[in-house]
Structure 1
Amino acid sequence: MRYITVVIAIEEYIRSKNDQQMQRGVNDPREVWIDGTLVATQEAIQYLNLLDDGTVVGVARFRGDADRLATIEDEISKIRTCTVTGGETWLAYMRYEPDELETALLERINTEAISIDWPMRETDEGLQVTLFGEDAALQQLIAGFPDEVDVTLERAGEYQPHMSDPAGQLTDRQKEILRTALAAGYYDIPRRATQRDLAAELGLSRGTIGDHLRRAEAKIIRSIIV
């Protein structure tokens, strides 16, 4: 089974169709502005589904003013419902009426025998999506996107379960070193162990420990932030 990660650039189209009351950020498409005020920033799209009645239900992770975002169902007619959770980083569940292009995209994805490796993420270039399935189905999906959509292939390869899970991207040695570092207090504040301590415990050089820690930390940070 194969996977592809693509960036779907439809931001200019979406901005041109946006409701005047709710706008996406000009410099950061993850930002949500309501009546000229930055309300929330989207961190990831956890789920989207096109229903038989033509509406979409979605769950996205945000940070910002949850209570203010929850009021948009009263201000914007296309948003049927909006329910939010609490906390510093929270989820918003929405049911809304999509524009024609979003409907076409979701219908296209639903047509082929492929699946989405959630979450999706919005970037400066567009919507980043990882899809997996048979190679022929993935190729057919890309070829069938609407002309208004610019699709860029970022990477492709053999699909492995839990690819989006940071721990699933680490090697066995990286996991071993991270577990040892956590147990020894390397990540405590103040730090209770050094790389030299970890090297002595694991029988490795200090340079090897540092290299593995940097590579593991980079993988985890990229999976969360990018």
Structure 2
Amino acid sequence: MNRVAFGVTYPPERIHPLHRRLTRVDDASRMELLAWGPTDEVTTLSWFDTSPETTRGLLAAVESAATTALVAEDGGTYAFVRQTRFEFDDALLAAVAGARVAFLPPVTFRGDGTATVEAVGERAALSEFYETLDELVDVRVERVRDFRRGGSTPALTDRRREAVAAASAVGYYDVPRTGTVADVAAELDCAKSTAGELLRRAEAALVDEFTSRESLDGGENGCVR
């Protein structure tokens, strides 16, 4: 089986109201949908790379939200949202519901109007999903890997990955070390404490993945189209 990351750019008529609002604010650039359920009324869990105040303003775009709870943590804000219905485009929901693949969290929505979703399945089913999606949005295959049970969940969120990349760029992992956490914070435009927390969590996740997996994910396997 394969694990494929699809990159999506939505036309204006199909973008979710919350995602549309995300493209219009200056102090938030990403939302990660971490957990959701099979029915409209299941509570979802998302993470935003911004403050609770800005997150609350973004969530105001979700007219069907019945209850929300916000938790400031991990360099941003977690949001528990219970909706009375999904507000995704009907055709996109039908494409997802009819797909013969499984979807892995997180689904990442960005301030530039793009999104990334990962799916697992057999090559024919993944190709079928790609073709269905291609009729509705601008879709591209960003990455193809073999699926492995032990490492199916990404070890790092986008923000933690950015922190590790910034740390590497400023020499934080050089031997001897030439960069500091303050340098990483400057690269990320965040507080020093936030940068330190992101690095600690990223490093803990990578060590845990390394010690718990029997084998690494496979390499590139070409396009599923």
Matched, 1:24 2:10: no
Structure with the higher strand share, 1 or 2: 1
**2 CA distance for matches of 1:149 and 1:56?**
26
Tell me what 1:195 maps to: none
Tell me what 2:130 maps to: 142
- State how 1:161-172 maps to structure 2 within 5 Å: 161-162=151-152, 164-166=154-156
Give the match's secondary structure for 1:12: coil
Matched, 1:159 2:157: no
Alignment coverage as a number of residue pairs? 164
**2 CA distance for matches of 1:189 and 1:139?**
45
Residues 122-176 of structure 1 deviation map (CA, whole Å, 9 limit, x = unaligned) = 243621111111112212222233733222122223223246214xxxxxxxxxx
State the percentage of identical aligned residues: 15
Residues 56 and 42 of structure 1: CA distance in aligned 2, closer, same or farther (over 3 Å): farther
Q: Which moved more, 1:54-63 or 1:147-156?
A: 54-63
Q: Which moved more, 1:138-147 or 1:62-71?
A: 62-71
- State how 1:179-194 maps to structure 2 within 5 Å: 186=177, 189=180
**2 CA distance for matches of 1:140 and 1:162?**
21
**1 CA distance for matches of 2:76 and 2:88?**
30
Matched, 1:111 2:98: yes
Matched, 1:7 2:3: no
Tell me what 1:92 maps to: 79
Residues 84-118 of structure 1 deviation map (CA, whole Å, 9 limit, x = unaligned) = 112342211223333351x4334432333322222
Structure 1 unaligned regions, length at least 5 = 167-180, 191-216, 221-226
Give the match's secondary structure for 2:79: strand
Tell me what 2:52 maps to: 66
Matching residue's letter, 2:146: E
Q: Which moved more, 1:130-139 or 1:87-96?
A: 87-96
Residues 77 and 112 of structure 1: CA distance in aligned 2, closer, same or farther (over 3 Å): closer
**1 CA distance for matches of 2:105 and 2:179?**
31
Contact 1:112 1:141 (8 Å CA) reproduced = yes
Residues 2 and 77 of structure 1: CA distance in aligned 2, closer, same or farther (over 3 Å): closer
Structure 2 unaligned regions, length at least 5 = 157-171, 182-202, 207-225
Residues 35-63 of structure 1 deviation map (CA, whole Å, 9 limit, x = unaligned) = xxx67443422123341xx4564321113
Matched, 1:81 2:67: yes
- RMSD of the alignment, in Å? 4.0
**2 CA distance for matches of 1:23 and 1:143?**
23
Contact 1:50 1:107 (8 Å CA) reproduced = no
Matching residue's letter, 2:77: W
Q: Which moved more, 1:133-142 or 1:71-80?
A: 71-80
Contact 2:51 2:76 (8 Å CA) reproduced = no
Residues 7 and 56 of structure 1: CA distance in aligned 2, closer, same or farther (over 3 Å): farther
Give the match's secondary structure for 2:36: strand
Give the match's secondary structure for 1:64: coil
